[in-house]
Amino acid sequence: MEAWFLYFGIENIPPWLADEYTDTWVFWIGSVGFCLWATQLYFRQSLRIGKLSVMICEGEPWVQADSYVDRSQAAPTSGRLYTYRIALINSADVTFRNVEVKLTSLEKRPQNFHAIGSHLKLRHDQVGSTNFNVHPSKNPQFLDAMFVDVFNFFLGDDGSSFLRVTSLPEDMNRPIPVDKYEVKIMATSERGEMTIAELAFIPRPDQIPEFRLLTVQSFPGATGASS
């Protein structure tokens, strides 16, 4: 540090700037700053060229309502079961193969909740598929996207309710308290395309809960993806 000041003709150098420990701190601060700048540059570039993304909208099929009878209690209760979904959008010209979608975080996490890291259920899937192909999206409303279930919310005619995360295997799902949750979901293809979405499940008085997309990050995979 002292040498730099002398190089620019500055002779009256404060003692604390001439200390060797100051040189060390300046070196490490500069190194950390460079690493942060390089990381930000990489992620900004990745966000620009990633082709696998997540979208949610209002109405079906993002939120689907069906008649349902809750038989988990002593007396069966009729009501409506709402399924909240995300849509996986492929904006490339090739098919992304063997895409897996997993729940990577749930905040605030209920006690005895063990679905972190589990696959999420593909829309209308009955066999517990854990990977699938995502074809290029051509529909302007993205109705040709691949839809993945995230939450089931039941509202009974008697005012009762429950909430479940639609993780696999389904028989391991247990109701969790109806509360506000922030979830993080990651989808990856066999060639490395990846998207990470953060979403919020928000209960509302006198309305069904809202499912809101907070952020999406998309990262590119290997070149020459499968067609």
Predicted pLDDT of residue 45 = 42
Predicted pLDDT of residue 48 = 46
pTM, to two decimals: 0.76
Predicted pLDDT of residue 25 = 47
Question: Residue 185's closest CA among 68, 71, 84, 39?
Answer: 84
Residue 222 one-letter amino acid? A
Q: Alpha helices of the chain — where are they, by DSSP H?
A: 2-7, 15-18, 20-49
* Helix-, strand-, coil-residue percentages of the chain, each rounded to 5: 20, 40, 40
**Cα dihedral across residues 158, 160, 166, 171: positive or negative:** negative
Predicted pLDDT of residue 187 = 97
Per-residue pLDDT of the chain (227 residues; tens, 9 = 90+): 555 444 445 556 666 555 555 555 455 465 656 555 555 554 444 444 589 999 999 899 999 999 999 988 888 999 999 999 999 999 999 999 999 999 999 998 888 898 999 999 999 998 999 999 999 999 999 999 999 999 999 999 999 999 999 999 988 888 999 999 999 999 999 999 999 999 999 999 989 999 999 999 999 987 544 44
Q: How far is CA 208 from CA 66, 76, 174, 178, 179, in A?
A: 13, 21, 20, 11, 12
Spatial separation of the C-alpha atoms in residues 187 and 135, rounded to whole Å: 14
| Contact predicate 85/101, CB 8 Å | no
Spatial separation of the C-alpha atoms in residues 221 and 134, rounded to whole Å: 14
